[in-house]
Structure 1
Amino acid sequence: MKTIITTAITIGLLIANLAKPCLAQTATSAPSASVSGTYSLTVIIHNVNTRSGKLYVGLANNQASFTGESFQRKVIDVTPSGELTTVFEGLTAGKYAVRLFQDLNGNQKMDFSGQMPSEPFGLSNVSMLMGPPDFDQSAIELNENKSIRIRMMEM
C-alpha cells in the first residue's frame, strides 16, 4: 500500500505542473509541412472513459522537463467518442516523453482524493505502474516521424 501511495504522489507531482503553462496553447489536428531535419510526434490517446473535459498534454525532452515545466504543451477538447490525437511538430532527433491528465471539472489542474489522483492520466511507455516512472522509462527515441499510443489510467 505504501508503494501505491508513493507512486500515486509521484505521478501527481509529475503531472501537476502540466496545466498552467498549457492555457495559451491548443492542439492541432493535422501536421503542417515538415521542416528539414525535424520530425513530428503524433500522440494517440485511448481508453478515455469519461467523455468530457480537456486533456492537458506535456512533452518532455529531459528529466527536468518531465518533472517540471514541459518542453511543449497542448490542450485537447475531449470528444464524445473515439481516440484523441495531437501532434508535436518541429522536433529534432532525440529522446522525448509524454505525460497527460484529463481535467474533468475545468479547474485546469490535476485533482486528488487524499494522496491519490482523482482524474485520469497517462504517460508514454507506461501502461502499468510498478513504481514512480522517470524520464528514461517513459522516453521514446525520435529519429523519424512517429506515432505513439498512450492509455489513460485511473487510480
Structure 2
Amino acid sequence: MKTLVNLIAVAFFFASSFAFGQTTSSTVTGKTYTLTVVIPGFDHRNGNLRVGIANSEQTFSGESFKSQVVAVPASGGAKVTFEGLPAGRYAVRMMQDLNGNNQMDYNGSMPTEPFGFSNITMLMGPPSFGQSAFDLNENKTIEVSLMEM
C-alpha cells in the first residue's frame, strides 16, 4: 500500500511545478485546431481550476505546453477551450486549487485537492503521457472528470 501511495504522490509532482506558461508553436501547414475540455461537475464550489495541456512526456511532467486558470463556477460544469493548436498528440492534466495557493496540497503523501487527467478515470499509479494522450487532427471536445483520493 505504501508503494502505491508513493507512486500516486509521484504523479502529483507536477503540482509543485505545474507551471502555466502560454507558449506557442508554429506549424508547417498553418492548420490549427481547437480543443475543448469539458469538466462535468465539481464536488467543491470554490477555488480555481488549473488546466494544462501537454504535447510530450516532458510537458506532461513539467511546464505545460499551454494552460489556463479558470474560476470554479457556482453551479454546473465548466468548459476550457484551447485554440490554435497544431495537429499532434496531447494530454490534459488539471487540478482544483481549493485554497488559492497555486499548488497541490497533501496530507502526508496523499493529495487533498481534486485532480484529473485525460483518458484516466482511476489511478493505479502515476499516469504517463502515453496513457493520457489523444490525437488532435480536427476540432475536438473531450471530457475530463476530477478525482479525489
Same fold (TM over 0.5): yes
| TM-superposed deviation, 1:17 | 2.0
Q: Which moved more, 1:5-14 or 1:88-97?
A: 5-14
CA distance in 2 between counterparts of 1:10 and 1:107 reads: 20
Q: Which moved more, 1:8-17 or 1:63-72?
A: 8-17
| TM-superposed deviation, 1:89 | 0.7
Which residue is 2:62 aligned to?
A: 68
| TM-score for the superposition, normalised by structure 2 | 0.90
Q: Which stretches in structure 2 are left out of the alignment for 5+ residues? A: 23-29
Secondary structure (helix, strand or coil) at the match of 1:64 reads helix
Which residue is 1:46 aligned to?
A: 40
CA distance in 2 between counterparts of 1:142 and 1:42 reads: 11
Alignment equivalent of 1:144, drawn from 132, 138, 141: 138
CA RMSD of aligned residues (A): 1.6
Aligned length, in residue pairs: 143
Which residue is 2:51 aligned to?
A: 57
Identity of aligned residues (%): 51
The question of 1:120 aligning with 2:114 is answered yes
Instruction: Give matches, 1:74-113, under 5 Å.
Output: 74-113=68-107
CA distance in 2 between counterparts of 1:83 and 1:3 reads: 34
| TM-score for the superposition, normalised by structure 1 | 0.86
For residues 66-112 of structure 1, give each alpha carbon's deviation from its aligned partner in whole angstroms, at most 9, with x where no partner exists.
00000001001001111111101111111000100001111111111
Instruction: Give matches, 1:28-39, under 5 Å.
Output: 37-39=31-33
CA distance in 2 between counterparts of 1:3 and 1:153 reads: 20
| TM-superposed deviation, 1:10 | 1.8
The question of 1:21 aligning with 2:15 is answered no
Checking the alignment, whether the CA contact within 8 Å between 2:33 and 2:84 is kept in structure 1 is yes
Which residue is 1:5 aligned to?
A: 5
